[in-house]
């Protein structure tokens, strides 16, 4: 009996950590409202000062937001914004922007 309880809690534990880590598109969309002032609607910035986020690889966005958050990549504006983001926010935002039409992978020659 004890053994089953252990397995049950093990499943519960991994399941909840999986849900926490998985990205949510709709949550990303609403969180992105703070970003569009600079990065443009859907992440399609029209101002060269602000990089386009639309269509960027999700993994890159996650990575670079973590770098801003930790301070490894320095930018006064983005360090401030990223420091307020949780891991969940980073996942949601990165999923949302990566799914927007924007940057495209160049065809290989
Ligand atoms: C006040 C303007 C402003 C706002 C608001 C803003 N950013 Fe930025 N963002 C910038 C600037 C400027 C850069 C370029 C910084 C640099 O050179 O490192 C940048 C860079 C980035 C990059 C790196 C892009 C690349 O190609 O390397 C990401 C990702 C990013 N921002 C995400 C976000 C997210 C997500 C939000 C909303 C939570 C946000 N930004 C809000 C101004 C802003």
Distance between CA atoms of 16 and 8, rounded to whole angstroms? 12
Q: Is it the case that residue 19 has pLDDT exceeding 60?
A: no
Architecture of domain 24-98: Orthogonal Bundle (1.10)
User: Which tens digit of pLDDT belongs to each residue from 69-103?
Assistant: 999 999 999 999 999 999 999 999 999 999 999 98
Q: Which atom of ligand 1 is nearest to the CA of 49?
A: 12
Pocket of ligand 1 contains residue 38 by CB under 6 Å: yes
pTM tops 0.95: no
Pocket of ligand 1 contains residue 78 by CB under 6 Å: yes
With a pLDDT cut of 90, the percent of the chain lying above it is 73
Pocket of ligand 1 contains residue 95 by CB under 6 Å: no
CA of 17 from ligand 1 middle (Å) equals: 28
């Amino acid at each position: 009996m004890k053994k089953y309880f252990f397995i049950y809690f093990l499943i519960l534990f991994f399941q909840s950590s999986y849900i926490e880590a998985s990205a949510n598109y709709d949550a990303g969309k609403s969180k992105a409202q703070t970003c569009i002032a600079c990065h443009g609607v859907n992440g399609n910035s029209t101002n060269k000062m602000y990089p386009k986020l639309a269509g960027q690889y999700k993994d890159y966005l996650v990575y670079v937001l973590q770098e801003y958050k930790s301070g490894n990549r320095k930018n006064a504006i983005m360090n401030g914004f990223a420091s307020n983001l949780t891991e969940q926010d980073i996942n949601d935002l990165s999923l949302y922007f990566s799914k927007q039409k924007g940057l495209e992978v160049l065809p290989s020659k």
